[in-house]
Amino acid sequence: MTDISITGHTKLTGLLGSPVAHSMSPLMHNEAFRALKLDYVYLCFEVGEEMLSTAVNGLKAAGIRGFNLTMPNKNKIMELMDRLSPAAELIGAANTVVNDNGILTGYNTDGIGFMQSVRDAGHNITGDTMTLLGAGGAATAIAAQAALDGLREIRIFARPTSRFYKRIQALTDKINQITDCRAILCDNADQKALKDSLDSSTILVNATSVGMHPDTSKSLITDPAYFHRGMIVSDIIYEPRKTRLLSLAESAGCQTLNGLYMLLYQGAEAFRLFTGHDMPVSLIKQKYFQ
């Protein structure tokens, strides 16, 4: 890896969150800048909610081109935006901000990243039915983008006791009001409803942390009979690469994918918004996602 050359014209991009030291984003973006010979740099900034407004105002004054947000800032940033993309407005959260001469526009590329990862795996789910597990930030982003991208129906299974339940409930209502997709919110304790939903779904998406390292023995579905051959089963977890859910789905003849390429493609969309150029995805895949 060669050094990044900083000039008087170098455009600044970065990531605001806490913690951020573990993020792959600087590797991805800076490698892509080098490959395309773009005079940009991407840095991480340890910024939590309490200092977010101060940090954003400072970066805006300094002329930052754009930045990404990770937890806990994706919801708080909405208060500081001048404009919002349709997905960010629908979700109520943004993970990417572009600064156009002092005008800050918030985008949410998480759902775009997921949908592109599905297409990258060779699947077209437009007009189909999705069963979605979860109520958190990833679930809301996936549901919103899937609705905007033309899915026919999304059945969302969540715990009524979840601290995110009211938010996913509000999103379900919005999807039904402003898109052609039908969204249905269900109690994830209702196993009959879950089985019935899976029987008629093209794709199942686990957007919860169940099964993530170190609790890799866990899965929200433990009976392979819930799956049908040919169903697409996606788990947004990528550590481990193959969760128990994905192993069970494979044993039932399902096509599976994890969350690794969702991470790649949400970053690729942010890169495009920052620079106007397509990220060299094949190169980034080879270097960081094998």
* Single-letter residue type at 179: T
Query: Residue 129: how many CB atoms within 10 A of its CB?
Result: 19
* Segment 196-201 long-range contacts (CB within 8 Å, at least 24 positions apart): 197/129, 197/131, 197/155, 197/157, 198/131, 198/226, 198/227, 198/228, 198/231, 199/228, 200/129, 201/128, 201/129, 201/130, 201/131, 201/155, 201/231
**What's the CA gap between 164 and 158, in Å, rounded?**
9
Catalytic residue, candidates 11, 37, 60, 74:
74
Contact 104, 55 (CB under 8 A): no
* Single-letter residue type at 253: G
Query: Residue 92: how many CB atoms within 10 A of its CB?
Result: 18
**What's the CA gap between 3 and 30, in Å, rounded?**
10
Residue 174 appears among annotated catalytic residues: no
DSSP for residue 4: P
**What's the CA gap between 70 and 256, in Å, rounded?**
26
User: Would you name the residues annotated as active-site residues?
Assistant: 74
